[in-house]
Amino acid sequence: MEKIKMTTPLVEMDGDEMTRILWQMIKEELLTPFIDLKTEYYDLGLEHRNETNDQVTIDSAEATKKYGVAVKCATITPNAARMEEYHLKEMWKSPNGTIRAILDGTVFRAPIKVKGIDPCVKNWEKPITIARHAYGDIYKNVEIKVPGAGKAELVYTSEDGTAVRETIHEFKAPGIIQGVHNTDASIRSFAKACFNYALDTKQDLWFGAKDTISKKYDHNFKDIFQEVYDADYKQKFEEAGIEYFYSLIDDIVARVMKAKGGFIWACKNYDGDVMSDMVSSAFGSLAMMTSVLVSPDGVYEYEAAHGTVQRHYYKHLKGEETSTNSVATIFAWTGALRKRGELDGIRELAEFADRLEKATLSTIESGRMTKDLALITSLEKVTALNSEEFIREIRRTLEAM
């Protein structure tokens, strides 16, 4: 069989630990036998980030801007323990944070649905995608522990020196205060990324905030979304037969629990942080969650939602058997290959991505899966496989197809 040809390279961002091992196996078993894989390779493994003073992360993000599609392996975000373990020159920043800042993106996370892994919420028949705004609010807050009686004020001073002042509270005794911010530009980018993603995946978009209580702050989010929608997206949504609606977050939460799924839920930063953990665990497993960073000008970076699975890696280093789930990493590749195929008009490439996803899911549905899924499946005849065996079984299914 002739291999599928690619015209534009994918930006390939290699990573760390157990996911780096899976990365290599996926390429060898599931990709290169079928595709003339064309990638521009960036090694974001911690050692190489350290050698290049993290320049490689910046270069990989710039390359993503240039080519439009990247696929990323999970990477270590250094902390004090990693400083020692890897003899780092500096505590390098989170690669995802660096890439997100360069691409100005919004992160979309969706569960991978498969028969036998049932959501806790019975009526969730289709995936629910969370779109999380990744800038500002309490993640860039300023806080003061108020020691005793006194007046707390909110003050804005413009460049020409004029000030706007509001009393927050006249304290009679100790307490706390917090200042948060966001920018219209960031909210607008967030809105655009959500509308584009909804069009791209032909799903409705829901957005909820607390505008009844926060009449300026949250109301500003609501207004900007509406403004962007009316100006640039209303007609496109009507043509695509999809819907955008805003409601109070309480109402959205209640609707989500009763819904069938199959929509995008746009969340402010904190709401997205909390709700994505709720949605992913209710759908079954972190190892079955995809993640894609979409920039407002249509650049895509695909990855798995989980980390480098450190505990399994240490077992692997000791020569012990591992059973690490590669599904989310496989889906990062298929997401990127499909997008590349669509952008370059290579139908075979997009079809291959569909086929590989199908082969992965039907392998699981036939009862062959990794341990994490074997523990929670409702299927009866189940074989728990190790990391390599699972990928080889997927290859067998793929070849049979």
Query: Which spans of this chain sit near ligand NAP (rule: CB under 6 A)?
Result: 74-77, 96, 286-287, 303, 306-311, 324-325, 372
For 2, 9, 97, 191, 215, the CA distances from 65, given in Å and listed in that order, are 31, 13, 16, 20, 37
For residue 75, the partner it binds in ligand NAP, Mg ion, none, with Cβ less than 5 to 8 A by kind, is: ligand NAP
| Residues 6+ positions from 162 with CB-CB distance below 8 Å | none
Q: For residues 116 and 284, which CB has a smaller minimum distance to Mg ion in the complex? A: 284
CA–CA distance, 376 with 284 (Å, rounded to integer): 8
Smallest distance from ligand NAP to CB 307, Å: 2
Smallest distance from ligand NAP to CB 355, Å: 22
Smallest distance from ligand NAP to CB 397, Å: 19
Q: For residues 95 and 208, which CB has a smaller minimum distance to ligand NAP in the complex? A: 95
Smallest distance from ligand NAP to CB 17, Å: 7
For residue 74, the partner it binds in Mg ion, ligand NAP, none, with Cβ less than 5 to 8 A by kind, is: ligand NAP
Q: For residues 97 and 150, which CB has a smaller minimum distance to ligand NAP in the complex? A: 97
For residue 372, the partner it binds in Mg ion, ligand NAP, none, with Cβ less than 5 to 8 A by kind, is: ligand NAP
The dihedral built from the CA positions of residue 150, 154, 160 and 162, taken in this order, carries a sign that is: negative
> At which residue do the structure tokens 């990855």 appear?
303
Smallest distance from Mg ion to CB 273, Å: 4
CA–CA distance, 304 with 327 (Å, rounded to integer): 8
For residue 273, the partner it binds in Mg ion, ligand NAP, none, with Cβ less than 5 to 8 A by kind, is: Mg ion
Q: For residues 134 and 391, which CB has a smaller minimum distance to Mg ion in the complex? A: 134
Q: Which residue is nearest to Mg ion (CB)?
A: 273
What 3-state DSSP class applies to 19?
helix
Query: Could you report how far apart the first and last alpha carbons of the chain are, in Å?
Result: 13
For residue 321, the partner it binds in ligand NAP, Mg ion, none, with Cβ less than 5 to 8 A by kind, is: none
For 283, 356, 360, 401, the CA distances from 368, given in Å and listed in that order, are 19, 16, 10, 17
Q: What pairs with residue 128 in β-bridges?
A: 263
> At which residue do the structure tokens 């953990």 appear?
277
For residue 277, the partner it binds in Mg ion, ligand NAP, none, with Cβ less than 5 to 8 A by kind, is: Mg ion
For residue 231, the 8-state DSSP code is I
Q: For residues 134 and 209, which CB has a smaller minimum distance to ligand NAP in the complex? A: 134
| Residues found near Mg ion in the complex (CB under 5 A) | 273, 277
> At which residue do the structure tokens 């909820």 appear?
208
